[in-house]
Structure 1
Amino acid sequence: MESRRAETGLVLLACALVLAGVPGASVAQAGGRTIYCCDVGGQPVCGDILPAACYGRAYREMSPSGVVRRVVAAPLTPEEIARRAEVERQHRAAEADRQRQLRLDQALLETYRSLDDLDSRRDRELRDLDRSIRELRERESELVKRQSALISDATQTDDSAVAASLEEDIRTLDSEIITQSRVIAAKLRERSAVLDRFEEHRQRYVELMGAPSANGVSRNGRGVVPGSND
């Protein structure tokens, strides 16, 4: 039965080759050839070389018995090439982000021994900033008091030369007060940034320590329980 179907296939293929204009086509000749076929308008177009009608189309390489040996896809259009390039770019960007996050996570686990260590470092930085802010505000308060005293003296003196000198000192102090206020505002922003940074580190640290690997050991490889001091 199989040989009968094969013979029938050879006969049909030979007929197809004749119709396709292949000179001297025969079953025997077809038996050693690769046949190239594509679909044009819903109809197959075949030949023992790739027909011109198949250029720019998907085509099949077939044995004389009709077995498809290989399918060759149609060339990509410019739009398809652009889409493929964009997908590849997105994959590369995603992989770069993944590698970056891995490096950040590793650095985080190497920086803090535990959550208590993280909290301790945060509190230490905040104490230093709070002390600096307190000193700056004390300095600002002193400048304001000195300026107030000079303003009072300037309003009480009748000596124009003294009044002019006092006004110059008042303007100098005014500039110093503005500068001091700006420094305080910068320190307050720095304090807020420290809080945000440590909160972000803390959340990520909890995620990493609470996500065991496949063997049940925590991500840092030591099996540390989140928040422990071990």
Structure 2
Amino acid sequence: MGSLRVEPFPAGPGASLLPAALLLAAALLVGEAAAQSSAARTIYCCDVGGQPVCGDILPAACYGRAYRELSPSGIVRRTVPAPLTADEVTRRAELERQRRADEAERQRQQRLDQALLETYRSLDDLDRRRDRELRDVDRTLHELRAREAALLEHQRVLIQDATQTDKSDVAASLERDIRTLDSEIIAQRGVIEAKAKERAAVFERFAEDRRRYLELTAE
């Protein structure tokens, strides 16, 4: 039985080049991996007393401070602000509350504007409705004031009768009627005052609607 013989790697001009090429490739791969690892590394820096304090991990002196994340070459990758103080948290919450309130008001005004444009076909239509409502209020005011005038006239007659009678029982009865009329006149004047305020409110409402309608249609 024959023995197995291992032939040596053939010698030749290119035989010594192969191991060298493999070594070079390996060296290049190691160098590239090292470069990538270095490029991926992050340095953390903050300023303490005007001096930078840096480390591969965030230094303890940087806790609660603004800090920078840098590449090994010194390029700032990211800046992290310092944590907010209690006053700053309160201020931010207040600003957010105000922002939400402003947005709610903007949406409310938008709905009102849309309703206004849908309510009136034109400026003349708005003016006609205003005049109609004011006429209705004025008619009621006229009736209330006529009623007040009638009460005052009735009271004047009773006072005149009370001054001209000699009978005490008649005078006492007239006095009671006069006091009753006093109460009615006061109540009537209260109703007139309320109706006058209603008229002013109607006028003011239509004036504001007219102003806003002009703004919207001009836009």
TM-score (norm 2): 0.79
- Structure 1 unpaired stretches of 5+: 1-26, 212-230
Partner of 1:63 in structure 2?
71
One of 98, 104, 125 as aligned partner of 2:106: 98
TM-aligned CA deviation for residue 186 of structure 1: 1.2
Partner of 1:110 in structure 2?
118
- Structure 2 unpaired stretches of 5+: 1-33
Equivalent positions of 1:35-74 (< 5 A) are: 35-74=43-82
Structure 1 residue 210 and structure 2 residue 218: aligned?
Answer: yes
- Three-state SS of the structure 2 residue aligned to 1:75 is coil
Which deviates more from structure 2 when the two are superposed, residues 142-151 or residues 32-41? 32-41
One of 153, 171, 180 as aligned partner of 1:163: 171
TM-aligned CA deviation for residue 82 of structure 1: 2.0
TM-aligned CA deviation for residue 191 of structure 1: 0.8
Partner of 1:125 in structure 2?
133
CA distance in 2, matches of 1:146, 1:59: 90
- Three-state SS of the structure 2 residue aligned to 1:194 is helix
Partner of 1:199 in structure 2?
207
One of 151, 156, 159 as aligned partner of 1:148: 156
TM-aligned CA deviation for residue 73 of structure 1: 1.2
Structure 1 residue 79 and structure 2 residue 68: aligned?
Answer: no
The count of residues paired between Structure 1 and Structure 2 equals 185
- Three-state SS of the structure 1 residue aligned to 2:90 is helix
Identical aligned residues as a percent: 73
CA RMSD of aligned residues (A): 1.8
Partner of 1:181 in structure 2?
189
TM-aligned CA deviation for residue 44 of structure 1: 1.8
CA distance in 1, matches of 2:185, 2:156: 12
TM-aligned CA deviation for residue 190 of structure 1: 1.0
Where does structure 1 differ by over 3 angstroms across 4 or more consecutive aligned residues? none
TM-aligned CA deviation for residue 74 of structure 1: 1.1
TM-score (norm 1): 0.75
Which protein is bigger by CA-based radius of gyration? Answer: 2
